Amino acid sequence: MRYVAELALVSLLIHSSTDRSLWCAEAGGIKEPKGSKVSVLNKDLFPRFISRNKLVLMEFYAPWCGHCQELAPKYREAADILSGMRKELPVPVKFAKLDDSDEYNREGRFGAEDMYNFSSYPALFVFRNGEMESPYYGGREVDDIVFWMAALARGQDPIEEEKYGRPGLYKHRHDIVWDLAPENFNATILAPASVDNTLHVVEFYSDRCPFCKSLEPEIVRAQEALLDEFGRDAPKAQISALNSRIFHDTATEQGVTGYPWVAAFYNGAKIEDMAGLGGWESVVNFAKRKLDEHYDASLGEPRPYSPASYSQEPEWVQAQRAADKILKEKCLAAGCKWEFAECEEGCDLGEGAGAEAETAVDDAATSVQVSASGESTAASSSKTAATPVAIQELKENPTAEDVDKGAAWRATLGRQTWFFLHTLAAKYPEHPSEVDKRTMRNLVAALGQHYPCKLCREHLKLKLMDPELGPVRVENRQELASWFCQLHNMVNLDTGKNYQHDCTPFNLDLQYLKDCGECEGPGADKKAREMDIKGRGGVSVASEREVFDARLYAKDVAQLEAEASEAKEAIIALKKRIANLEKENRKLKQ
């Protein structure tokens, strides 16, 4: 019956106009109200819709998925706004969605590896001219979706556009709160007290986070209060802000892992992350407390503020554009894909392409270095702090200055990750189950995929494929410990350390087979359970722990459900078949 209905619908589409109201499958999923600009597809409508529309944002969802339900009204609103922008965009943007959990639609195998390869909902993809162009990497708020899809419709790279556009919550109040960027962050916030005797309070924010938006007037008010108290020309305490959504690397270097996040800096270093962020008074009190604890008047006068030096678009933006342009041309000429300011991995750009791009940076950048006095000075060298981190990281021969910049963060991350990995190996089972082995391999694969330092990650991937290291040795605890040790030794060599660790099991156990006392040993489980029960308002979660199944985390839940129902059906069919056979058998015997 259902097939008949689908067939009728498809033939209706083929033989009638392309009115969007027809792009509506019968769906039991999250319903679209009348007039919605989101087309509801099923597996039959999908290919036609995609091929008929030049630019499509496509959502694969499941009605039971909370994030999908949350996204639905925003998705709808964004579709509506973009539909209204039809005249100003060179290409119309269409929105569609498909209930991928629907049994009928699952025949389309949209999530399969050879299709769009997704394992969670909602899965969003951009389709252009009938082909999947890329996953959708933009934000999930209405503005984010509109911004991203409008940029794509204009043929722009949304990530580049955001960086160049440098959105900031405090741009309009620059005279009060300094909206910083990577090129002036260190010179402003980390200046030694001998040149800048100012306590800096920095709010790391996201211009898209609703709470950050409501905090903005409070932060401005806090700075007003500090100016009133300490004088307007050169206050002892100054509040600045950094859009860490855009300038993520700069925020991470300061140990910032979320937003809004407030921290105090003095005399070239971070002194404290603020706890208990509330309204404007909480920020003022925090600043005053830190002044009381740290301020040393003998180090000089506070630095007068010169907002002009922060209000211009920096030269590196132009330099970056010039370099990107060259690389993009080379990349496209080599027949490769240029996506999000990077050429596809493994593309042969021809000799000297990188050097040419660097020369473009040199030529274009009469870099603006913000001097310690807060004024701009033109520097003729391109390899100044004004060069964006992304370029520095990928340079084959970085200068000592380049290396210094990201090194501290990289080292902290590295040290702690190594400690985690060696400890993990030391406590891996002597007789691992198949699930233990599989999840450990997954963990290593995830490191190669997600290790948060891009430079290290690229090196790591090469090592993981190096036959000298070989596949992850998951057969037992000692094998695994020695495998991680060998990997670490390879990285040691690679990073110029003339050091090779002793990888004997005894030595590794001595160093890493420790515990925190409370984590293991008698009573630890009970204690953990008590803590959990307390932490969850008295509801016991012991049963959750008992049924923990790593496969649930390594696999897509919808896929597992489908497999389970397939298995059930197979069992029922088998039982029927057995019953029939037994019946026939009985007849034959009679």
| Shortest CB 442 distance to ligand FAD, Å | 16
| Shortest CB 478 distance to ligand FAD, Å | 13
Q: Which residues, including other chains, have CB under 8 Å from residue 442's CB and lie 6 or more apart?
A: 554
With CA atoms as reference, report the closest residue to 484 among 402, 427, 543, 545: 427
Within the chain, how many helices (H) and strands (E) appear?
23, 14
The number of CA neighbours under 13 Å toward the Cβ of 92 is 12
Sign of CA dihedral 54, 60, 63, 68: negative
Binding site for ligand FAD (CB under 6 A): 410-411, 414-415, 417-418, 422, 447, 451, 455-456, 459-460, 485, 488-489, 491-492, 494-495, 501
Here the tokens at position 128 are 């252009």
| Shortest CB 345 distance to ligand FAD, Å | 17
**How many whole angstroms separate alpha carbon 451 and alpha carbon 483?**
18
- In the bound state with ligand FAD, the residue whose beta carbon lies nearer, of 502 and 518, is 502
- In the bound state with ligand FAD, the residue whose beta carbon lies nearer, of 233 and 396, is 396
- Residue least distant from ligand FAD (Cβ): 414
| Shortest CB 451 distance to ligand FAD, Å | 6
Residue 382 Cα distances to 245, 374, 394, angstroms = 26, 20, 16
| Shortest CB 488 distance to ligand FAD, Å | 3
- In the bound state with ligand FAD, the residue whose beta carbon lies nearer, of 405 and 410, is 410
- In the bound state with ligand FAD, the residue whose beta carbon lies nearer, of 79 and 460, is 460
| Residue 21 DSSP one-character state | G
**How many whole angstroms separate alpha carbon 288 and alpha carbon 270?**
16
The number of CA neighbours under 13 Å toward the Cβ of 444 is 24
- In the bound state with ligand FAD, the residue whose beta carbon lies nearer, of 176 and 485, is 485
| Shortest CB 460 distance to ligand FAD, Å | 5
| Shortest CB 94 distance to ligand FAD, Å | 42
Q: How many residues does the chain have?
A: 590
- In the bound state with ligand FAD, the residue whose beta carbon lies nearer, of 198 and 392, is 392
User: Residue 350, by phi and psi: left (phi above 0), alpha (psi -120 to 50) or beta?
Assistant: left
- In the bound state with ligand FAD, the residue whose beta carbon lies nearer, of 176 and 460, is 460
- In the bound state with ligand FAD, the residue whose beta carbon lies nearer, of 422 and 437, is 422
| Shortest CB 255 distance to ligand FAD, Å | 16
| Shortest CB 433 distance to ligand FAD, Å | 25
Rg (CA), the chain: 29
- In the bound state with ligand FAD, the residue whose beta carbon lies nearer, of 390 and 570, is 390
Task: Kindly report each contact of residues 509-516 with a partner whose C-beta sits within 8 Å and lies 24 or more positions away, as own/partner.
Answer: 509/426, 509/481, 511/422, 512/419, 512/422, 512/423, 512/425, 512/426, 512/481, 513/426, 513/427, 514/423, 515/427
